[in-house]
């Protein structure tokens, strides 16, 4: 069978990996709960696939999801930096691999998106190589705080809210600016993530000396884009996709907020207002107005300004600090 390979390297990102941990001096830790499945004698499924594309296979981190056959920790042979390889199934998985890699290329260089290094899509195999987010996902933070019986600091939850809403301002509206909220781009083909939740939001090293880690949106496997001309039925469908992202954003913030002992009375009521504005918890969102990402980002920035004086910056619990994010 003729084998067609598309192999694309993003040179800009090879340089930006300088801050990533190297695979010579790092003992990769288990990151997801699924790692418990990986103990004992490796089954066929657990055996590492062949190394290729300039990356060495190191460890399986995740056994596979709806469309992928595993997430692997890999090392870049040239730079010796760690990275992630997401392997997607051939055929139906190829469509997803094209979509996910296409979307990640459109979002290259955004602070709050997972950065892709390379993708290889063939008839028999699909691999997407991306930055390794050393802190795992938000569900790992939730689990660590549940275990320690502590509340997640409000200041960290605000940081996640701002980071995720910056990501949504870009995907939904093409707004990229860091310092101010621009008008939406008229020529932007929106991207709706479709699967925002705690396991698809990753945590990694900040670019600046920020007290908190960088929060990035990943797993664009269920996303929608390339809408083109829309008739009124399509517009309604697209509006539902937009609303779903905002509602799921609110649910993610709520999931962080409800961790820990006691009532929520010590926590910030403005976080509650934010969650309610996003329509989270409503059974039918088709008839209610749900704000656009830029409106929500505007109110997050205003609230953060007012709460800054009363919400103190608290470090994350020891387990996360030990990861030296």
Ligand X SMILES: Nc1ncnc2c1ncn2[C@@H]1O[C@H](COP(=O)(O)OP(=O)(O)OP(=O)(O)O)[C@@H](O)[C@H]1O
By C-beta, is 125 or 131 nearer to ligand X?
131
In the complex, minimum distance from the CB of residue 12 to ligand X, in angstroms, rounded to a whole number: 18
Question: Which x/- pattern, by CB under 5 A, does the window 194-223 give for Mg ion?
Answer: ------x------------------x----
Residues of this chain, 205-244, that bind ligand X according to CB under 6 A: 218-219, 221
By C-beta, is 66 or 230 nearer to ligand X?
66
**Which of residues 86, 193, 214, 242 is near ligand X by CB under 6 A?**
86
Euclidean distance between CA atoms 22 and 86, whole angstroms: 19
Question: Which x/- pattern, by CB under 6 A, does the window 53-72 give for ligand X?
Answer: --------xx--xxxx--x-
The dihedrals phi and psi of 59, each to the nearest 5 degrees, come to: -160, 145
By C-beta, is 136 or 190 nearer to ligand X?
136
By C-beta, is 193 or 270 nearer to ligand X?
193
Question: Which x/- pattern, by CB under 6 A, does the window 110-129 give for ligand X?
Answer: ----x---------------
By C-beta, is 61 or 215 nearer to ligand X?
61
Number of residue whose CB is nearest ligand X: 65
Cβ–Cβ under 8 Å, residues 256 and 141:
yes
By C-beta, is 38 or 301 nearer to ligand X?
38
By C-beta, is 130 or 196 nearer to ligand X?
130
Using the rule CB under 6 A, give the single segment among 167-175, 181-189, 194-202, 226-234 that binds ligand X.
194-202
In the complex, minimum distance from the CB of residue 291 to ligand X, in angstroms, rounded to a whole number: 27
Contacts from 62-70 at CB under 8 Å and sequence distance 24+? 62/32, 62/34, 62/35, 63/34, 63/37, 63/38, 65/221, 66/221, 66/222, 67/92, 67/93, 67/96, 67/221, 68/93, 68/221, 69/93, 70/45
Euclidean distance between CA atoms 14 and 83, whole angstroms: 11
**What DSSP state is assigned to residue 195?**
-
Instruction: Count CB atoms within 10 A of the CB of residue 23.
Output: 23
- SS3 at position 16: helix
In the complex, minimum distance from the CB of residue 120 to ligand X, in angstroms, rounded to a whole number: 16
E-strand stretches of 77-149? 82-88, 116-121, 126-131
Strands 82-88 and 126-131: antiparallel
Which residue, 66, 74, 126, is CA-closest to 101?
126
Number of residue whose CB is nearest Mg ion: 219
By the rule CB under 6 A, 84 interacts with ligand X: yes
The one of Mg ion, ligand X, none whose footprint includes residue 62, by CB under 5 to 8 A per kind, is: ligand X
In the complex, minimum distance from the CB of residue 133 to Mg ion, in angstroms, rounded to a whole number: 12
Euclidean distance between CA atoms 49 and 43, whole angstroms: 12
**Which of residues 99, 199, 214, 244 is near ligand X by CB under 6 A?**
199
In the complex, minimum distance from the CB of residue 8 to Mg ion, in angstroms, rounded to a whole number: 23
In the complex, minimum distance from the CB of residue 74 to ligand X, in angstroms, rounded to a whole number: 11
By C-beta, is 107 or 173 nearer to ligand X?
107
Contacts of 242 (CB under 8 A, 6+ apart): 172, 190, 192, 290, 292
Q: What is the DSSP string of 267-307?
A: S-HHHHHHHHHTTTT-S--SSS----HHHHHHHHHHHHHHH
Q: In the complex, which residues of this chain contact ligand X (CB under 6 A)?
A: 31-32, 61-62, 65-68, 71, 84, 86, 114, 130-133, 136-137, 199-200, 202, 218-219, 221
User: Which residues of the chain form contacts with Mg ion (CB under 5 A)?
Assistant: 200, 219
């Amino acid at each position: 069978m003729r084998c067609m390979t598309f192999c694309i390297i993003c040179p800009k990102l090879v340089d930006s990996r300088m801050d990533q941990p190297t695979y010579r001096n790092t003992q990769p830790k288990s990151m997801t709960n699924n790692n418990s499945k990986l103990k004992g004698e490796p089954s066929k499924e657990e055996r590492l696939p062949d190394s290729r594309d300039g990356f060495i296979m190191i460890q399986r981190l995740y056994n596979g999801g709806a469309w992928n056959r595993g997430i692997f920790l890999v090392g870049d042979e040239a730079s010796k930096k760690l990275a992630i390889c997401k392997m997607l199934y051939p055929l139906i998985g190829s469509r997803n691999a094209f979509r996910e890699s296409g979307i990640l290329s459109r979002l290259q260089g955004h602070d709050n998106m997972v950065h892709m290094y390379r993708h290889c899509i063939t008839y028999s195999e699909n691999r997407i190589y991306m930055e390794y987010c050393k802190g795992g996902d938000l569900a790992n933070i939730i689990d660590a705080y549940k275990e320690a019986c502590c509340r997640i600091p409000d200041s960290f939850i605000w940081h996640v809210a701002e980071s995720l809403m910056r990501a949504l301002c870009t995907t939904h509206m093409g707004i990229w600016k860091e310092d101010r909220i621009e008008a939406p781009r008229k020529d932007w083909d929106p991207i709706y993530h479709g699967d925002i939740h705690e396991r698809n939001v990753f945590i990694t090293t900040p670019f600046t000396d920020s007290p908190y880690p960088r929060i990035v949106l990943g797993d664009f496997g269920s996303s929608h884009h390339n809408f083109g001309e829309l008739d009124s039925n399509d517009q309604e469908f697209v509006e539902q996709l937009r609303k779903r992202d905002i509602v799921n954003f609110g649910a993610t913030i709520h999931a962080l907020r409800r961790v820990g002992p006691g009532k929520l009375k010590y926590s910030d009521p403005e976080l509650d207002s934010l969650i309610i504005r996003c329509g989270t918890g409503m059974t039918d969102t088709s008839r209610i107005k749900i704000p656009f990402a830029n409106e929500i980002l505007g109110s997050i920035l205003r609230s953060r300004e007012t709460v800054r004086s009363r919400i103190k910056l608290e470090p994350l619990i020891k387990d996360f600090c030990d990861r030296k994010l």
